[in-house]
Amino acid sequence: MKRIVVKFGGSNLKSRTDISKLLKVIKSYDVPIVIVISALFGITDLLSKSFEKIKKDEKAINSLLKTLLDKHRKIVIFAIDDKNSQDKVMDSIAERLNILGKYLLGTHYLGEVPDFVSDLVLSYGERLSSYLLNAILQSNGFDSEELLPEDIGLFTDGVFRNATVDFERSASGIKAAIKGSKIYVIPGFYGISKESKITLLGRGGSDYSAAAIARCINAVSVDLWKNVPGFMSADPKIIADPVQLKNLTYKEAAELSYFGARILHPRTFEPLMEKNIPIRIYDINDIPEDLTPLTIIQKKRYIREGIVKSVTHSEDVGIIKLRGPGVGIKPGIIAEAASALNNAGINIKSIITSQTTINFLFSREDLEKSYDILIKKKISFVDNTAVYKGIALVAVVGEGMLEMPGIAARVFKAVSDCNINIQIISAGASSVATYFIIEKKSCMKAIKAIHKEFFSEDNRRNQ
């Protein structure tokens, strides 16, 4: 039986109005759906920030559990009318919280948070929201059932905090569990290792969960209901009149997500590309009667006349420069540095080399730790190691970028005309993206200049 995997964010359960929209969306589907749900808004952050308090103070556990219970009770009261049903739902939520409390108590006595405990605790936001959503659906007459990743066998490679789904191991169990015509509700964000340990799929990983499940059941599509109007030619907070992007390839969407567009988890596309399962993006604040998506992402290539489809940015970047005569051509230097960083679980966003300098690009949160590792490593031929903050990455994305002469020249001229100095350029690493590094203070000006160059009224054709 063909199904659609539908993913909702936890913000879709914040109010009575939000839940009404969600129920309207679910009713609009005429084929069986599998729902993947995120934690209620702010819950994962709340759990994450609680660890330090709980290690020091046992009373912080009951305070946290009460806060979680109250937040979910508030939704139960306005979403479910029957008092007896409300009580049953709250009893079940309390049972899950009691189990969570035991893990938190263990953390307090240990005085530390092992990786497997951290991942398990942080998964509880989704465990609570999936139970809650299933109860809401059943109270509204839907034939639905909650399935947990550990019950259906959503297996991962066992890496804590940022696991990868093992599709070969997972497919048979998930197919067997999802049967008939009922609606299934599955918490996103986590899977299990072959040792049955809970492993998270990375921050924002519920999109990736939805894609993984879609691959395992060979779904018709993955439908993502967001609070934004799909992918745009730029961030609407920066550009007043961005162009709606109706068609994107997997590569374009992946690069936009990687370089700063926060609409999708960057790994959402990996499970779907081989089977060409499309991603359809909708705005839950503007529900179309015929379910026509705002943006559809698939393998089919569509080249815009102006090539560039979107300009995006990230300020979550920093650079560490390794300097020394010939470091860019001496064998083994990059491997030695990368190995040390990899052993510490640090992701290198990009590497750009020259004769005398190797530039490592990191997320800002990894800068200090990465610097310490590289300094202690004392890599041969490296005379100086320096950290650069206060920078931003700007990327332009579009199919055909390497095939059409002059695109990069137009990008860099637009930036140069604003008297903005470009510190590092990377072109050609991706067939659909070019990016560069500038001072953070010049970022907004650069984005506006590039967008004007490619999306002036004369260029808004064939999008």
Every domain of the chain and the residues it spans = 4-227, 311-459
pLDDT band, residue 463 (cuts 50/70/90):
very low
Residue 459 is predicted with a pLDDT of: 55
Tell me what pLDDT residue 460 has: 52
- Predicted TM-score (pTM) of the model is 0.92
Provide CATH code, domain 4-227.
3.40.1160.10
Q: Domain 311-459, what fold?
A: VC0802-like (3.30.2130)
Radius of gyration of the chain (CA): 24
How high is the pLDDT of residue 462? 44
Structure tokens given for 331:
């064998």
The sign of the torsion formed by the CA atoms of 395, 396, 399, 401 equals: negative
Long-range contacts of 63-68 (CB under 8 A, 24+ apart): 64/104, 65/97, 65/100, 65/101, 65/104, 68/43, 68/97, 68/100, 68/124, 68/128
Confidence check: pLDDT of 429 > 80: no
Alpha helices in 57-82 (DSSP H): 59-79
- Examine the pLDDT at 152 and tell me if it is beyond 80: yes
36-47 as b/e: b if 16+ CB within 10 A: bbbbbbebbeeb
Whether the predicted pLDDT of 461 surpasses 70: no
- Cβ(359)–Cβ(397) below 8 Å: no
Q: Per-residue pLDDT tens for 346-375?
A: 999 999 999 999 999 999 999 999 999 999
* Chain segment 241-292, per-residue pLDDT in tens: 999 999 999 999 999 998 888 888 889 999 999 999 999 999 999 999 899 9
Report the distance separating Cα 267 and Cα 260, nearest Å: 13
**Nearest Cα to Cα of residue 315 among 358, 367, 271:** 367
Per-residue pLDDT averaged across 211-229, rounded? 96
Q: Where are the alpha helices (DSSP H) in 278-325?
A: none
The pair of three-digit structure tokens given for residue 204, joined into one six-digit string: 């924002």
Res. 427 pLDDT band, cuts 50 70 90 = confident
